[in-house]
């Protein structure tokens, strides 16, 4: 039996071999990623990359649970972390506990992630004290897109740098087992990584972090456009386009299906 990685394993990787993390939303993809990743994050980015929403604000707890169950079924070794979506944890620590406990119970995942705004440390401590492993997320916080007015990199002013640093410290001190840092300059990512005793996992946050995460659909090249921080390791959009064009041509010209792809009724036995 393969033992799954869990929060203490990830926590122990601080300053060691960089943590390999990707997002996953479905069982077959999770099965492929599982062999290579320490953490599979069921990100609320699912709303944008799978469901076609304009941002993550419309993602619901039911969506996260559905995709979380699929990723758990497809994987067996990586730690599975489920994003808590907008509106399910910010209101109060009791609300957060109820929703996080439901996610943990219904999916069987090893932890949850919350975007760590200025008021979240108390909630993180409350959750961790009650047995819920929590990953934090500082810097660019996509769930704050409507108050911030767009997806903008953080840490360009001294004020902003201090704020992101204090949010990261509060998140780590509250007991988070790791902290995602999104969309910050190298200097700030390095300072945070040196200041806190938990692994930092960067996305658009330089090689100074203790690990990296990308949205799988971005690194596989499923979209025309990707931000500067994404490296495309494949051109899946081109691959799918070529495959479907080939299929369409074969159907129209009756080259598909061929005899080997066809069922025939048994020939009557000769007398």
Q: Which residues are known binding-site members for 3-methyl-2-oxobutanoate?
A: 44-45, 83, 113
Judged by beta carbon distances under 5 to 8 A according to partner kind, the member of Na ion, ligand KIV, none in contact with residue 134 is none
Q: What share of the chain is helix, strand, coil (3-state, %, to 5)?
A: 40, 15, 45
**Residue 110 touches which of ligand KIV, Na ion, none (Cβ within 5-8 Å per kind):** none
As measured in angstroms, the least distance from the Cβ of 154 to Na ion is 15
Select the binding partner of residue 203 from Na ion, ligand KIV, none (C-beta < 5 to 8 A, by kind).
ligand KIV
Q: Which of 118, 19, 33 is nearest to 75 (CA)?
A: 33
3-state secondary structure of 74: helix
Q: Which does 69 bind (CB under 5 to 8 A by kind): Na ion, ligand KIV, none?
A: none
CA distance 22 to 11: 17
Q: Which is nearer to Na ion, 43 or 74 (CB)?
A: 43
Long-range contacts of 26-32 (CB under 8 A, 24+ apart): 26/67, 26/70, 26/71, 26/74, 27/70, 27/71, 27/73, 27/74, 28/74, 29/74, 29/216, 30/70, 30/71, 30/72, 30/73, 30/74, 30/75, 30/78, 31/74, 31/75
Instruction: Match 């109060």 to its residue by tokens.
Output: 92
Q: Least CB distance from residue 267 to ligand KIV, whole Å? A: 56
> Which chain residues interact with Na ion by CB under 5 A?
43-44, 83
Q: How far is the CB of 138 from ligand KIV (least distance, A)?
A: 11
Question: How many residues make up the chain in this entry?
Answer: 271
Q: CA-CA distance, 125 to 40, in Å (whole number)?
A: 23
Which residues are known binding-site members for Mg(2+)? 44, 83, 115
Q: Catalytic residue numbers?
A: 182
Residues forming the site for ligand KIV (CB under 6 A): 23, 41, 43-45, 83, 137, 180, 182, 203, 213, 215
Of 174 and 215, the one with the shorter C-beta distance to ligand KIV is 215
Residue pair 20/212 in contact (Cβ under 8 Å)? The answer is yes
Residue closest to ligand KIV when measured from CB atoms: 43
Is residue 104 within 8 Å of residue 131, measured between CB atoms?
no
Enumerate the known binding-site residues: 44-45, 83, 113, 115
The nearer residue to ligand KIV, 165 or 179, going by C-beta atoms, is 179
Tokens found for residue 211:
């690990």
CB 260, min distance to ligand KIV, A? 42
């Amino acid at each position: 039996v393969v033992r799954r990685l869990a929060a203490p394993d990830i926590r122990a990787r601080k300053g060691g071999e960089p943590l390999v993390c990707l997002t996953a939303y479905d069982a077959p993809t999770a099965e492929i990623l599982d062999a290579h990743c320490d953490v599979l994050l069921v990100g609320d980015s699912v709303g944008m990359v799978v469901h076609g929403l304009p941002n993550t604000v419309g993602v619901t707890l039911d969506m996260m649970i559905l995709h979380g169950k699929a990723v758990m079924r497809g994987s067996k070794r990586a730690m599975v972390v489920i994003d808590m979506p907008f509106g399910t944890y910010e209101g109060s620590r009791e609300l957060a506990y109820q929703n996080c406990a439901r996610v943990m119970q219904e999916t069987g995942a090893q932890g949850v992630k919350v975007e760590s705004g200025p008021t979240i440390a108390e909630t993180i401590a409350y959750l961790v004290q009650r047995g819920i492993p929590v990953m934090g997320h500082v810097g660019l916080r996509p769930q704050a897109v409507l108050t911030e007015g767009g997806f903008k990199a953080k840490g360009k002013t001294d004020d902003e740098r201090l704020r992101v640093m204090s949010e990261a410290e509060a998140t780590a001190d509250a007991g988070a087992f790791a902290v995602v840092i999104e969309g910050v300059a190298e200097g700030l990512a390095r300072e945070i990584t040196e200041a806190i005793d938990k692994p930092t996992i960067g996305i658009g946050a330089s090689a100074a972090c203790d690990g990296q995460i990308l949205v799988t659909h971005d690194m596989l090249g499923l979209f025309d456009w990707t931000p500067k921080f994404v490296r495309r390791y494949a051109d899946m959009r081109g691959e799918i386009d070529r495959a479907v064009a080939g299929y369409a041509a074969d159907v129209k010209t009756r080259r598909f299906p061929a005899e080997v792809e066809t069922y025939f009724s048994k020939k009557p036995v000769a007398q």
